[in-house]
Structure 1
Amino acid sequence: MARLSSFSVPDFHLPFGNSKHPQAARANAEATSWVLGHELVTAAAEEFSGIGVGHLAGRVSGEVPYERIVLLAEWMAWSFVLDDQHDHLIRAGDLAAWRPITDAITSYLETGRTGDHAPGRNPLVTGFVDLCDRILAGMSEGTAARYRAHVPLMLHSLDQEAGNRGSGGRQTVQEYVLMRRHSSQLLPMMDMVEAGLGIDLPQHVHDLPEYRAVVASAVDIISWGNDVFSLPKEHACGDTNNLVSLISSWENCSLPEAVRAVEGRIQIRIEQYLAEERSLFQAMDALPGTDAALRDAVTRCVRSYEDWIIGADLWQRYECTRYSDERFAAGLESAYTRPDLVSVA
């Protein structure tokens, strides 16, 4: 394994402005209380609060009403616990315990029931049910359908990550990029922001190749940047689900060299994103039935993706203790992780 002898997160030169909701700190406190109330976290609440989910939600939500920012922050909090719990099961060699949890979640998405076989009282499941009901209540039929599709893909990508860590093999960089678009957990959250902004784009717009390209580029930029921030932890615990680690392995270069390579890829991706934005609006203007209202809605969605790109970067640099925490950098589990969480019935 390549050595991480020196490391600093570069400036990715993101060409977007950003503002944060003035009540982001309050949203962070409410999301932390929600996690504690659902017993997803029972210790080290201050450390969990330091993740700053409310600050991230406040940076990526635009003009969304405050109650929707809190809901997004709560979903982010649940997602972090889900991710950390999955990591714990990988470390413990107990991934068999994961399947009933994900089966319950996907069953609820499909049928509104967690299923007779499911651990219906587990905090990960009860927390999801509480969030899912409130999330879907604020969504149009089309946005809800995308959310229902994105969550199982997100869960499946975690299974893929576990397989990569257990197989000893190497995925290609392109295979990783495609998986990372879902393991980033961004797409369900982007659905939530779209709904909170009151945007309801027809499916044929979402299906445009130019629109899909914009979304893919935005998610790639955010995900690859996060891989740089999270590199110390993932390297320390032998997790190769990281673009920097994969480039180092495939190109036989040092980790600092691979960080610079990822920085270069991000800069190229930003230029692609800006070009894809222009192509999208050209495609919209050529599309029969495009009126000013539809074009405005697409513009607002695109601006939201820009909020995500710059907001996630600023949050990681200045408002989140997760990536600077000594335990995290040493590859240890989070102090708030409940080793018994999956077994709770």
Structure 2
Amino acid sequence: MRPSTSQFTIPDILSICPLEDATNPWYKEAAAESRAWVNSYNVFTDRKRAFFIQGSNELLCSHVYAYAGYEEFRTTCDFVNLLFVLDEISDDQSGADARITGDAFVNAMRYPNWDDGSILAKMTHEFRERFVRLAGPNNVRRFADLSEQYTDCVAREAELRERGEVLSLDEFIPLRRNNSAVLLCYSLVEYILGIDLPDEVFEHPDFADAYWAACDFVCWSNDVYSYDMEQSKGHTGNNVVTVLMLERGLSLQEASEYIGQQCQSQMQQFVLAKARLSSSNLPADAIRYIDALGYWMIGNLVWSFETTRYFGADHLRVKETRIVYLRPCDMILADDSDCSDSGSDSE
């Protein structure tokens, strides 16, 4: 769905986020090593390599995992870069092919001896080896389960893209929670902190309130920030902006304002639930985990304006004015993007 307007104003989400941003001291060294690791596989065309560099994945990790030690931080960079590779592969695939690709990722994540000879399997095995060295058994199991949920939802996203179908909001929210990979990225928090939470912690009402508020806050804010980039590629179906415009008959500006209101509610839910945790009977590690999710909530916002990924060369101007001028077909991607009305993008 392409908008009928040429510009819109994004909500002032930074001003409603009381959390403190930070960056990881190991960023430069670990980022260079992780990027070299990905590039050693030569998986990108020149065009996609340019988009990979533009994405600044390691800088995102620096903000959202600011507290990680060197080894743990390097592993998070490897994972987010691996997700980029997986996303770029599946983004060009049919639903059936995306499921095959997803199965390869999940099998390589679950089984250390599984191998189909693909580069994706080799990269996944190398990440897994780093991850399981320090992660606890509950964390490893949940991570594998979330990997399967993620790839299932990515494949479903591809099937929706093929049919030009946009889900209702109630259907979209659980899909977005998983195909965004936010829950997988949250799962790395246990690995970084050296904790291994029992499953019942995630079922505690106050913990769950904070956990899902943190997830939705990142997903919804990311969707309104990334909307211009996605519409310039013809990929708007997997975005809450489009869902709201279609389901509720909102204009682009009205959808943006609604998302701002929802992000404010999600932030309030997170802060209140986190406060209640201090008087709960949950272990201290559960509170440490929720505290760490706050770095994701503020860090993703700050990073979005530090890079050209979403707003191009205008990223600093957009941060100041919040006015986004919609772009035509992205020139970097023009050779295989038709700017059609259907499609999706997972980030």
Per the normalisation by structure 2, the TM-score is 0.84
Tell me which of 240, 243, 248 is aligned to 1:243.
240
1:259-338 equivalences in 2 (<5 Å): 259-282=256-279, 284=280, 287=281, 294-295=283-284, 297-318=285-306, 320-325=307-312, 330=328, 332=330
Indicate conservation of the 8 Å contact 1:51/1:322, yes or no. Answer: yes
Structure 1 window deviating more from structure 2 (220-229 vs 179-188): it is 179-188
Instruction: Output the CA distance in 1 between the equivalents of 2:328 and 2:29.
Output: 30
* Pairing of 1:146-185 with structure 2 (within 5 A): 146-185=142-181
Offset of residue 332 of structure 1 = 4.7
The answer (yes or no) to whether the contact 2:160–2:166 under 8 Å persists in 1 is yes
* Aligned counterpart, 2:38: 35
Whether the 8 Å CA contact 1:165–1:239 is kept in 2: the answer is no
1:212-231 equivalence runs, <5 A: 212-231=208-227
1:64 to 65, 68, 73: 68
CA distance in 1, matches of 2:194, 2:332: 36
Are the aligned partners of 1:180 and 1:223 in contact in 2 as well (CA < 8 Å)? yes
Match of 1:309, as an amino acid?
M
Q: How many angstroms apart in 1 are the aligned matches of 2:29 and 2:241? A: 35
Match of 2:4 in 1: 3
Alpha-carbon distance in structure 2 between the residues aligned to 1:137 and 1:338: 40
Give the letter for the 1:276 counterpart.
Answer: A
Unaligned runs of 5+ in 2: 314-325, 338-347
Q: d(CA) in 1 for partners of 2:331 and 2:83?
A: 16
Distance in 2 (alpha carbons) for counterparts of 1:122 and 1:338: 24
Correspondence for 2:18 among 15, 20, 25: 15
Query: Contact 2:154–2:179 (CA<8 Å) still a contact in 1?
Result: yes
Q: Give the C-alpha shift of residue 155 in structure 1.
A: 0.5
- Aligned equivalents of 1:52, 1:27: Cα separation in 2: 13
Is 1:86 matched with 2:90? yes
Relative distance call for 1:143 and 1:160 in structure 2 (3 A) is: same
Distance 1:66 1:110, change over 3 A: closer
What's the CA shift for 1:163?
Answer: 2.3
Matching residue's letter, 1:223: C
1:19-70 deviation per Cα after TM superposition (whole angstroms, max 9, x unaligned): 1012323333222211111222353545422322221111122432112111
What's the CA shift string for 1:254-299, capped at 9, x where partnerless? 11211111111111111111122233333x2xx3xx5xxx22x222
State the distance in 1 between where 2:184 and 2:222 align: 17
Q: Are the structure 2 counterparts of residues 239 and 227 from structure 1 closer, same or farther at C-alpha, using a change threshold of 3 Å?
A: same
SS of 2:46's equivalent?
coil
Indicate how the Cα distance of structure 1 residues 68 and 238 shifts in structure 2: closer, same or farther if over 3 A, else same.
Answer: closer
Q: 1:25 to 1:324 in 2, by over 3 A?
A: farther
Query: In 2 relative to 1, CA 207–331 (structure 1 residues): closer, same or farther, beyond 3 Å?
Result: farther
Name the residue aligned to 1:208: 204
Q: 2:320: which partner in 1?
A: none
Offset, 1:133: 1.9
Whichever residue aligns with residue 73 of structure 1, its letter is C
Q: CA deviation at 1:198?
A: 1.5
Deviation (angstroms), 1:247? 0.6
| Cα offset, 1:86, TM superposition | 1.6
Mapped partners of 2:329, 2:135: distance in 1: 38
1:209-247, Cα deviation, whole Å (9 max, x unpaired):
321221111010001011011101322304311111111
Secondary structure of residue in 2 paired with 1:7 = strand
Q: In structure 2, which of residues 29, 32, 36 is the aligned counterpart of residue 26 of structure 1?
A: 29
- Give the match for residue 128 of structure 1: 124
Q: 1:22 to 1:9 in 2, by over 3 A?
A: farther
Q: Specify the alignment match of 2:101 in structure 1.
A: 101
Matching residue of 2:340: none
- Residue 321 of structure 2 aligns with which residue? none
Instruction: Name stretches of at least 5 consecutive residues in structure 1 with no aligned partner.
Output: 340-345
Instruction: Mark the CA change 1:163 to 1:332 in structure 2 (over 3 Å): closer, same or farther.
Output: farther
| Identity across the alignment (%) | 24
Measured in 1, the distance between the counterparts of 2:142 and 2:158 equals: 25
Answer yes or no: is the 8 Å Cα contact 1:62–1:197 preserved in 2: no
Q: CA deviation at 1:201?
A: 2.3
Equivalenced residues, count: 320
C-alpha deviation, 1:195, in angstroms: 1.2
Tell me the SS of whatever aligns to 2:178: helix
Q: Aligned partners of 1:263 and 1:134: how far apart in 2?
A: 38
**Aligned-partner Cα distance in 2 for 1:38–1:333:** 25
What one-letter code is carried by the residue in structure 2 that aligns with 1:10? Answer: P
Indicate if the aligned counterparts of 1:60 and 1:311 stay in contact, CA closer than 8 A. yes
